[in-house]
Structure 1
């Protein structure tokens, strides 16, 4: 599924996953060019991941072509 086929309204509050089933948190917001996710219970990590890295949405998870390490390095929003 190309990211053009993803209904972005449906992904709010769904899980975001990366390569090797990396936990990228829950989708909080969808913007024009990126998706904001939040992971963690106590120490929350927030990511802003480009929409063009979205691979597919299966109804439960929004899958991204990004590793956990890439998300930490490139897309984590610093406090």
Structure 2
């Protein structure tokens, strides 16, 4: 509540939190840091990455550790959640 009793004033502690992206589906379960890490990992492997051969952005993950670039039609291996 504000000084004059209105609910319109929001405390600064309830300001915007760091975006957790697709990990919002977990709701209040598993703890904040686990959801934050899950969101970071999912953003890493679901996003588009740069191909190490043709340097074009568009490489996507096919399976765990298997990456494919549709531009130069190259399939290569990398880490499970990232190409590095």
- State the TM-score, normalizing by the size of structure 1: 0.34
Larger radius of gyration: 2
More strand by share: 1
Structure with the greater relative contact order (CA < 8 A, sep ≥ 6): 1 or 2?
1
